[in-house]
Amino acid sequence: MFIERSSARIRLVRTLFVLLGVIPCAGLGGWATLRQSAGHRQAIERRCGQVLGLGVRIERVEHLRPDAVRLWGVVVAAPAGAAVLSLPSVDLESSSTEVRVRLGRVACTPRLARTLADVAEQWLRQPARFPFDCVVDVGEVSWSTSDARPGGEAQGGAVVVAGLRVECVAAEGSRAVRVVRRDAGGRGDAIDEVRVLASAAAEAGGGGSAADVRLEVTGSLATPVPVGVLESCCDAEAGSFACGKSAAFSGRFDSWYEGGRWSGTAQGRVERIDLAEASAHRPYRLSGDAALAIERIEWARGRITAVDGTFQASRGTVEQRLLEGLVNAIGCRPGPAYRSPLGEQVRAFDEAAGRLRIGPYGVDLRAAPGRAAALANVRGTALLEEPPAAVPVSRIAWLMSPAGSVAVPASPATGWLLDLFPESFVEGESSQNRGSSEQAVRPSRRSDF
C-alpha cells in the first residue's frame, strides 16, 4: 500500500526545516565564531584602550553570560609603550550605567601607581569621556618599591595586603573615587581608605563665569604604604620625599586643591627610613635606620605653614661637617664627644632622637624627653646638644647650601625654601639686611651669632 505524497507538502516541510533549523543554527555558529575571532578581540582591545587612554592587549575572550566576559592574558601599557600591568585574567561585567571589574592579584609599583592616578584624575575631570560608574575589586594587592617587572605577582621586598575595592561614582554634579580595604572577612569599618571628590567651583573674582575643579582628598592608612608609591600618586619625582626605597607611611591626611594650589593637614609615621639612601644627594652623608613621627604638618596654598614631629635613628654614622653645620647654622651646642680624639671625619652614633617644630617663630629643635639635652650620643656620651632657642627658617639655607656659597633664600642653591615655606618664614633675619648691598652669609662659628 502506497501513501499518497504531495510535492507541495514536501516543499513546505523542507522550507520550514531550513528556516527554523538550518538558518538559526548557521547564524548561531557564525555569531559564536565571530565572538571568538581576532576581530572581536581587537575591538574589545580598542574599546578598553580608548576608555583608559592606555594600550591594552588581550590574548583571548571568554563570554560567561550576557554582558559578562572574562579576558585572558591582559597586558596594559603606558602611553610610552612600556607595560605597567600584566594579569592572567580579568572579569568584566557591564550595564548601561555601570562597569564592574574583578582582578586577582596586583603588584602595585610606583610606575603603576602613577599610571592609575592619571586615569583616576581623567575620570574625575572628564565626565563626557567616562559617563558610567565603575567598581573594581582586587583580590590581593602588594605594594612594591621596584618597577622592574609589571607582573601580577608580588616582587622582592613587596608588602602584601588584603584586597581593595575602588569605586568611581558620579552624583549631583560631583564625581568621586574611593579606595577602601576592609578586614580579612570583608566586614566592619574600613582599615585603609582614600577618598577623592571633584566638584565644580566658580573662580572667585574677575566677574567671569569660568569654572574650576575643586579636589578634596582625605585618607586614613593603617597599613604602611611605600613612600615611592605615595610619590607617584602625588605626581612627585622619585626621591622627592628623601626617605629611601624601603620607607613606608601610615597615618591620616586631609587636603584640598583649589585655585591651582594645595592646602591641608596630615599626621602619621614614616618607618624604615634608610639614612644612606635619603642623604645620597644631600650636602652631608649619613647612615643608619630612622623613623619619623609626624604629629602635625599643615600646608596652605602649596607652602608648609607648621611642622611638629619627632625623629629617632639608631646605630649609624654622621659626617663631622654636618655636626659642625648644626652648631654653626642651627645653634646646637657641642657635646663632650663632639670632637674625635683621632680627628675622624665620619662619626659613629648609637642613637639620635629629638623633636622638631617649624612655624612663624622659626625652627625649634629639642632633645627627646628623658635624654637631658642630648640630640645624639655615642657610648653614653653626647655628640650634640639642643640649641638654646629657636632660629629663623633661613638658617636651613645656611645648613643645606654648599660651603663657601651665598646662603640667602634667593640664591640658586637655596631658592627651594621659597617654594617650601611662606616667604615670611624664610626671610626671618635676612629681611634685616634688605637695606644693605651685601647678602647675608653663613656664620662660620658660634661667636658669629
Any idea where the domains of the chain sit in the sequence?
Answer: 95-259
* Burial class (CB within 10 angstroms; exposed 0-12, middle 13-18, buried 19+) of 316: buried
DSSP state of 436: S
Q: Which residues pair with 448 in a beta bridge?
A: none
* Residue 144, number of CB atoms within 10 A of its CB: 28
Task: Give the contacts of 217 (CB within 8 A, at least 6 positions apart).
Answer: 194, 195, 196, 197, 253, 254, 255, 256, 257, 264
pTM assigned to the model: 0.76
Q: What is the pLDDT along the chain (449 residues), one digit of tens a residue?
A: 445 557 777 666 666 655 556 556 655 555 555 555 677 777 888 888 877 878 888 888 888 888 888 889 989 888 777 888 889 999 989 888 888 999 988 888 888 888 888 888 888 888 888 888 999 999 888 877 766 555 544 444 555 667 889 999 988 788 999 999 876 555 555 688 999 999 876 554 444 333 467 889 999 999 888 888 888 887 777 767 778 888 889 999 999 988 888 899 999 999 999 999 888 878 888 999 999 999 999 999 888 999 999 999 999 999 999 999 999 989 999 999 999 888 889 999 999 999 999 998 889 999 998 888 999 999 999 999 999 999 988 888 878 776 555 555 455 555 667 678 887 776 655 444 333 333 344 444 433 43
Q: Where are the beta strands (DSSP E) in 111-206?
A: 133-143, 159-171, 174-181, 192-202
Q: Which three cell numbers stand for residue 359?
A: 612655624
Burial code (b: 16+ CB inside 10 Å, e: under 16) for 366-398 equals bbbeebebbbbbbeeebbbbbbeebbbbbbbbb
